[in-house]
Amino acid sequence: MKTHALSPLRKAVALLALAFAPPVLATDIAVPAPPPAAKAESLDVQVPDVELVDQTGRKVRLWTDLVRGHTVAINFIFTRCKTICSPMTATLARVQQELGPKSDVRFISITLDVANDTPERMAKFAEPFKPGPGWSFLTGEPAKVKDALVALGGYVPDKEAHRPTVLVGNAVADSWTRVDGLGSPSRILEAVREARAASAGPSELGSTDSNASAQDAAAAKYFTNTELVDQNGKTHRFYEDLVRGRKVLINFAFTSCKGACSPITKHLADVQAKLGDRVGKDITMITLSVDPANDTPKSLSTFAKKFGVKKGWYFLTGSRENITLVLKKLGGYVDTPDAHNTTLLIGDAATGMWVKSPAMANVENIVHAVEHLNDPK
């Protein structure tokens, strides 16, 4: 069978990553930031005509049977995923529902765990999301699945490190973009509609200013302006007061912790010292309490002072409802404080670039991550 190839794969300018020692760039953030405007990452894609197997056990060719002549939305998941795969699939399900049962848009989910994901397991994973007939959950022979993942930009050596992105394209127009799979469904819908429109002729997107405004609105909606209280008793709206327009470092802790919290806070104090006066200006550091029932502003203040924390670093608590909402948005919620993760989130809401690092990673590497977060590869 002849493989159909579109234009050669080209790296998109907006695919930003960190080029430094692996210990810091552990993987992309599990709960990523809101997506950039749909046109921010325009690229060419080569679609191989590999034979895969869908959730019904039917053999299908990726190009011939699924992509050729259609607008498609493609994501990458695995059934044992405990973080982003289910929410991302739920977002795509909302997009499919919004498009309606007569839509000709094809949805494709390709496994990142071919050793485990049989057609039966893919079908069981898909069932709660009630996918329509135009949605294929694909597995198959390892080499063929890998060929598809590599060509579509979804391959990662460690499945846990995969990005929550959706590849949206129209093969007729050779129009392809990547958008955030955990952001608002409206952003994916916008990309789908633009891909469909591209097949009928060129279309103009909004101005840079309007795209930036849309990005800001999406970020505000995702992070929310939930009110939290810092160690000085001051109330802040989470997005507008602490995240908007800045690079941010976010970790999770609680003051009565007998394990990692104190060493991590001491370590991050060294990071703050290395970043210098930028913290409190264009960089914000945030520690979110995972024990709001016990962490008062006073106890957080006492905890922070032990480590010489300076301005620009906010130790946040609040009502259980409010702190839980923000923790869940950032993947930091746990049922019991002792079970909290020791991840450091590093991000820039303005660009939508987020990575995660072990909080105890080398100070120099963390600083490099912050300073070069938006550098092209």
Query: What residue ranges do the domains of the chain occupy?
Result: 34-216, 224-341
**Continuous segment of H or E residues that includes residue 109:** strand 106-111
Q: What is the mean pLDDT of residues 157-179?
A: 88
- C-alpha–C-alpha distance, residues 48 and 2, integer Å: 9
**Roughly how many angstroms between the first and final C-alpha of the chain, as a whole number?**
35
Q: Are 319 and 289 in contact (CB under 8 A)?
A: no
DSSP class of 87: H
Is there a common fold for 34-216 and 224-341? yes
Which tokens in the block code for residue 350? 């303005």
CA triplet 258, 263, 266: central angle to 5 degrees?
130
Q: How far is CA 321 from CA 28, 34, 224, in A?
A: 27, 22, 13
Q: Are 211 and 37 in contact (CB under 8 A)?
A: yes
Query: Which region holds residue 186: left if phi is over 0, alpha if psi is between -120 and 50, else beta?
Result: alpha
Residue 199's pLDDT band, with cuts at 50, 70 and 90, is low
Q: Which fold has domain 224-341?
A: Glutaredoxin (3.40.30)
- C-alpha–C-alpha distance, residues 292 and 78, integer Å: 33
Residue 204: the pLDDT is 33
Q: What is the mean pLDDT of residues 97-121?
A: 94
Residue 173: the pLDDT is 72
Q: How far is CA 361 from CA 25, 26, 84, 287, 357, in A?
A: 10, 10, 24, 17, 7
Q: Are 83 and 331 in contact (CB under 8 A)?
A: yes
Q: Does residue 7 register a pLDDT over 80?
A: no
Q: What is the pLDDT of residues 228-246, one digit of tens each?
A: 999 999 999 999 999 988 9
Q: How far is CA 15 from CA 6, 12, 18, 220, 351, in A?
A: 20, 6, 10, 22, 10
Spatial CA neighbour of 156 closest among 165, 146, 166: 146
Residue 26: the pLDDT is 34
Q: What is the pTM (predicted TM-score) of this model?
A: 0.50
Q: Does residue 358 register a pLDDT over 90?
A: yes
Q: What is the mean pLDDT of the chain?
A: 84
Q: Which residues of 139-158 are buried (b: 16+ CB within 10 A; e: fewer)?
A: bbeeebbbbbbebbbbbeee
Domain range 34-216, CATH class: alpha beta
Q: Does residue 18 register a pLDDT over 50?
A: no
Q: Which residue has the higher pLDDT, 103 or 55?
A: 55
